[in-house]
Amino acid sequence: MFWTHNDSGGDPAVFAVDSTGALLARVRLPGVSNRDWEDIGIGPCEPGGGPCLFLGDIGDNSERHERIAVYRIPEPDPATDSVSGPVAILLATYPDGPRDAEGLFVTEAGIHIVNKGRSDAIDLFRLPPPYDTSTTVSLERVQRLAPPPTSVSAQVTAAAVDPTGQRAAIRTYSSIRFFAVEADTLRPLDGQAGMVAPSQLQGEGLDFISPDLVILTSEAQASRPASLVILSCDPLRAPPDTLSDSGG
């Protein structure tokens, strides 16, 4: 089972689907809106705690919003179609001004956000725990992942961490690159491990099923259904690639 969501302006809800794309549940988040939800992650509500879903309202095509929001809820029971606890609203700012972002994943070290690279270099930012819902927090810039892309195909559209918390992946429109998770930083796997992403219009979804299985999804349009692809791969032996324009 996987959790997914709509893009900007859609219902503030999460959807449970199976590996065929069949809908299992729809859970609405009360009291929040969907300005531009771009990614979803699952991780500990707080270090050592139970599982929560984290919804990243982090899209900003015009790069003008002073704050971003991450909505946290306890992972719902698909059988109940409801949120079992309040929606925690985590507000944050970037240290150097607004950015457009589409990648988010969660580990014990915090909420990690990868900006798209629309007009800046591609960086990894972190919102560390404990999470404070009473104030707006400045994100930490953790590391530079790639220089500013010179083509749209190299812009980041999703990020994910595997169930062990030891391996992460970042997707662009043209490629997927794999990393080892080390504390709060990412280390490219041996040989700059990566792969060419299958062609998907608006391919902006990525998650791990297991350490060597990834699922890729695209956005649906009124005249075009979403597509779902499951790939079996060994990142340590995958062909070289980068987040830069040479990839894909």
User: Which tens digit of pLDDT belongs to each residue from 121-169?
Assistant: 999 999 999 999 999 999 999 999 999 999 999 999 999 999 999 999 9
Q: Is residue 218 part of a domain?
A: yes
**Size of the chain in residues:** 248
Question: Pairing mode, if any, of strands 88-93 and 136-138?
Answer: parallel
User: Which tokens hold the place of 79?
Assistant: 């059988």
Q: Is residue 185 part of a domain?
A: yes
Q: Is residue 39 part of a domain?
A: yes
pTM over 0.75: yes
Residue-wise pLDDT tens digits, 45-57: 998 899 999 999 9
- Burial of residue 20 (CB within 10 Å: 0-12, 13-18, 19+) is exposed
Strand partners, 158: 171
Number of separate domains in the chain: 1
Listed in sequence order, the residues at least 6 apart from 101 whose beta carbon sits closer than 8 Å to its beta carbon are 38, 56, 58, 59, 60, 68, 113, 114, 115, 116, 125, 156
Q: Is residue 245 part of a domain?
A: no
The letter for the amino acid at 201 is L
Q: State residue 203's pLDDT score.
A: 67
Answer whether the bond into residue 130 is a cis peptide, omega within 30°.
yes
Q: Is residue 178 part of a domain?
A: yes
Listed in sequence order, the residues at least 6 apart from 63 whose beta carbon sits closer than 8 Å to its beta carbon are 97, 98, 99, 100, 118, 119
Q: CATH code at 224?
A: 2.120.10
Q: Is residue 84 part of a domain?
A: yes
Q: Is residue 183 part of a domain?
A: yes
Range of the domain at 153: 2-237
For the chain, what percent of residues have pLDDT higher than 70?
90
Q: Is residue 226 part of a domain?
A: yes
Mean residue pLDDT across the chain: 87
Does residue 5 contact residue 53 with C-beta atoms inside 8 Å? no
